[in-house]
């Protein structure tokens, strides 16, 4: 198993390229199930979750190909020959549940493993299933699988989501593009990844009006066609490297980064003492003075993202004063706390909130994390720590961050991957 060795204490200077969003690219690949024609996606990140999604789609009979040798442009298309999403893939990657709506819409049936919980929480899918039932699907849960059928096709409906779930919005949006009549999704998620999916579906011939304020209206069409679409920039990767500059100090341009998608994150960075500006197509991040603690609560977009919570916990560990981090999206997303504390952080968790009392410095240690963002929070701590940090279980990072060691060493960090 690969490890990272990190030696802290170096400020960061230069440019870091920001890739396409994992949380958008995965859904856009799934959208390819909605047409037999080729959908070509550019700016796709080269990460393990994308490789897993390719295997899942190929299992459905879809042809997934690299369009060039960059590995960042992928085409999907073809006929669905198998409507089962098996346990071994769904349990590895939760975004697999997103095939349910498109399979039902196009093949009129689907058998998808229930994803179950994961390291950050129970993560139920009841809203996905209720929404699909409202569109006329018959759903039975059996032996850990969702068996869904819509023998006469899906029919448009008005669906009010009790919570602005990103996954449920995406599943229902894709299913509704081929339903008979009009679907209205009320209290829909407003994340930039939703707008990206809407833009791709519209390019494929879907009729969608998204008011950007939580209401999406879809008029079903008979068929969708091929399209070209560039994946939106990864706001979480961008925010993560902004935290790297914030914790290590320095001055870095995050090429492709968009402050417009990171409003809540930028506000917290500025309050903490970090300078952030948009300069052309780059987000510039600078810190020369001290860091200050801030109180933060995770919320659906445009609130502060849960996917940035762990990274900010590392940052606040070395900020002056106390910070409070409240996690409202997932019930078990503080798994990084004991590891940060092993590096000298002073963090106490009380239910959904954590109090972080800033310390003057952290010290390197062998650490490991149980999920993607938690793993990066330990790299961030390592960048600020004295001595060497050894991060184990790098496979969590490889799921969602491309070329971490290259991007960080390119701006002066000392980080090395040890394979084996
Ligand atoms: C609102 C939010 O921040 N969503 C995040 C969530 O998306 P993801 O799509 O995974 O999760 P949802 O947005 O659906 O879920 C948010 C909350 O709703 C609950 N829920 C969801 C679906 C359902 O059918 N029933 C139910 O109870 C979940 O348990 C969770 O507490 O994780 C992704 C990966 O970290 C992030 O990129 C998304 O930004
Ligand atoms: C938790 C994440 O992803 P997933 O929903 O794939 O677990 C994430 O992107 O931070």
Per-residue pLDDT tens over the stretch 57-104? 999 999 999 999 999 999 999 999 999 999 999 999 999 999 999 999
Nearest-CA neighbor of 158 among 134, 137, 189? Answer: 134
- Please write the tens of the pLDDT for every residue from 317-329: 999 999 999 999 9
How large is the greatest C-alpha to C-alpha distance in the chain, in angstroms?
65
Q: What gap in Å lies between CA 369 and CA 338, rounded to an integer?
A: 10
> Rounded to an integer, what distance in angstroms lies between the CA atom of residue 102 and that of residue 174?
6
For Cα atoms 411, 416, 420, give the angle at the middle one, nearest 5 degrees: 155
Residue 118 has a pLDDT of 82
**pLDDT at res. 175:** 98
Report the distance separating Cα 120 and Cα 377, nearest Å: 15
Ligand lying closest to the C-alpha of residue 308: 2
407 is in an annotated binding site: no
pLDDT for position 369: 85
Give yes or no for residue 48 having a pLDDT over 90: yes
Is the confidence at residue 117, as pLDDT, over 80?
Answer: no
Place 30 in a pLDDT band, splitting at 50, 70 and 90: very high
Which H or E run includes 338?
helix 337-342
Report the residue among 98, 371, 375, 401 best suited for mutation to probe ligand 2: largest number of ligand atoms under 8 A from its CB.
371
Helices (H), 183-325: 192-203, 235-248, 263-272, 309-317
Fold topology of 22-230: UDP-n-acetylglucosamine1-carboxyvinyl-transferase; Chain (3.65.10)
Total residues belonging to the chain: 420
The answer to whether the 3-18+233-418 and 22-230 domains have the same CATH topology is yes
CA dist 161 and 308 (Å) reads 24
Q: Relative to the CA of 371, which ligand 2 atom is closest?
A: 1
pLDDT higher than threshold 90 for residue 116: no
Residue 210 is labelled as binding a ligand = no
- 119: how many CB neighbours lie within 10 A of its CB? 14
The residue whose CB lies within 8 Å of the most ligand 2 atoms, and thus the one to mutate among 20, 21, 22, 193, is: 22
> Which ligand lies nearest to the CA atom of residue 125 in the structure?
1
Closest alpha carbon to 105 in 54, 155, 56? 155
Q: How many Å apart are CA 137 and CA 55, to the nearest integer?
A: 26
Put simply, whether the predicted model's pTM sits higher than 0.90 gets the answer yes
Whether the predicted pLDDT of 132 surpasses 80? yes
What pLDDT score does 49 carry? 97
The C-alpha atoms of residue 102 and residue 123 are separated, in whole angstroms, by 21
The ligand that comes nearest to the alpha carbon of residue 264 is: 1
User: ω before 149 within 30° of 0 (cis)?
Assistant: no
**Best mutation site among 25, 45, 169, 329 for ligand 1, i.e. most ligand atoms within 8 A of its Cβ?**
329
Based on its alpha-carbon atoms, the radius of gyration of the chain, rounded to whole angstroms, reads 21
The arrangement of secondary structure in 3-18+233-418, i.e. its CATH architecture, is Alpha-beta prism (3.65)
**pLDDT, position 370:** 87
Distance CA(23)–CA(400), nearest Å, equals 9
96 lines ligand 1 (CB under 6 A): no
pLDDT score recorded for residue 372: 96
Annotated ligand binding at 235? The verdict is: no
Check: CB of residue 283 under 8 Å from CB of residue 276.
yes
358-401 pLDDT tens trace: 999 999 999 998 899 999 999 999 999 999 999 999 999 999 99
Collapse the DSSP code of 17 into the 3-class scheme (helix H, G, I; strand E, B; otherwise coil) and give the result.
strand
Question: By alpha-carbon position, which residue is closest to atom 10 of ligand 1?
Answer: 167
Task: State the average pLDDT over residues 133-153.
Answer: 97
Return d(Cα 222, Cα 76) in angstroms, integer: 20
What is the average per-residue pLDDT within 175-183?
A: 98
Q: Is the CB of 34 inside a 6 Å radius of any atom of ligand 2?
A: no
Q: Answer whether 80's CB lies under 8 Å from 28's CB.
A: no
User: Is 118 considered catalytic here?
Assistant: yes
Asked if pLDDT for residue 404 goes beyond 80, the answer is: yes
Q: Where are the domains of the chain?
A: 3-18+233-418, 22-230
177 CB contacts (<8 Å, ≥6 apart)? 34, 105, 201, 204, 206, 207, 208, 218, 220, 221, 224
| Ligand 2 atom with the shortest distance to the CA of 23 | 9
Q: What is the pLDDT of residue 122?
A: 86
Provide the mean pLDDT of the chain: 97
- Judged by DSSP in three states, 76 sits in strand
User: How crowded is the C-beta side of 255, counted as CA atoms within 13 Å?
Assistant: 6
Q: What per-residue confidence (pLDDT) applies to 230?
A: 98
Could you give the CA distance from residue 244 to residue 380 in angstroms, rounded to a whole number? 6
Please count the other Cβ atoms lying within 10 Å of the Cβ belonging to residue 113: 19
């Amino acid at each position: 198993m690969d490890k990272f060795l990190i030696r802290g204490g170096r400020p960061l200077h230069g440019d870091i390229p920001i890739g396409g969003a994992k949380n958008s690219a995965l859904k856009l690949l799934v959208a390819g199930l909605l047409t037999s024609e080729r959908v070509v996606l550019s700016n796709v990140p080269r990460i393990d979750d994308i490789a897993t999604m390719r295997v899942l789609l190929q299992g459905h009979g879809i042809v997934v190909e690299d369009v060039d040798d960059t590995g960042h442009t992928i085409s999907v298309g073809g006929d669905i020959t198998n409507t089962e999403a098996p346990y071994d893939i769904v349990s590895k990657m939760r975004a697999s549940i997103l095939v349910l709506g498109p399979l039902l819409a196009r093949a009129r049936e689907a058998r998808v493993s229930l994803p179950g919980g994961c390291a950050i929480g129970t993560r139920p899918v009841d809203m996905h299933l209720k929404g699909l039932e409202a569109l006329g699907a018959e759903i039975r849960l059996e032996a850990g699988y969702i068996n869904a059928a819509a023998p006469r096709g899906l029919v448009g409906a008005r669906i009010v989501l009790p919570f602005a779930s990103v996954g449920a919005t995406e599943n229902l949006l894709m299913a509704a593009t081929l339903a008979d009549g009009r679907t209205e999704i009320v209290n829909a998620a407003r994340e930039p990844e939703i707008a990206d999916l809407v833009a791709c579906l519209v390019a494929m011939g879907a009729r969608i009006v998204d008011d950007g304020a939580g209401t999406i209206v879809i008029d079903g069409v008979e068929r969708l066609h091929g399209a070209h679409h560039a994946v939106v920039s990864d706001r979480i990767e961008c925010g993560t490297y902004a935290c790297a500059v914030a914790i290590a100090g320095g001055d870095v341009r995050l090429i492709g980064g968009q402050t417009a998608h990171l409003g809540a994150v930028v506000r917290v960075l500025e309050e903490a003492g970090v300078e952030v500006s948009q300069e052309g197509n780059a987000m510039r991040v600078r810190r020369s003075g001290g860091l200050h603690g801030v109180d933060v609560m995770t919320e659906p977009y445009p609130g502060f993202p849960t996917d940035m919570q762990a990274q900010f916990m590392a940052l606040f560990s070395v900020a002056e004063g106390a910070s409070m981090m409240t996690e409202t999206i997932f019930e078990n997303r503080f798994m990084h706390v004991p590891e940060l504390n092993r590096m000298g952080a002073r963090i106490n968790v009380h239910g959904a909130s954590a109090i972080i009392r800033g310390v003057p410095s952290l010290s390197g240690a062998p650490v490991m994390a149980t999920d993607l963002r938690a793993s990066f929070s330990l790299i961030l701590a390592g960048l600020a720590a004295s001595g060497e940090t050894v991060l184990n279980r790098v496979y969590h990072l490889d799921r969602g961050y491309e070329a971490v060691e290259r991007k960080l060493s390119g701006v002066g960090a000392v980080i090395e991957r040890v394979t084996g």
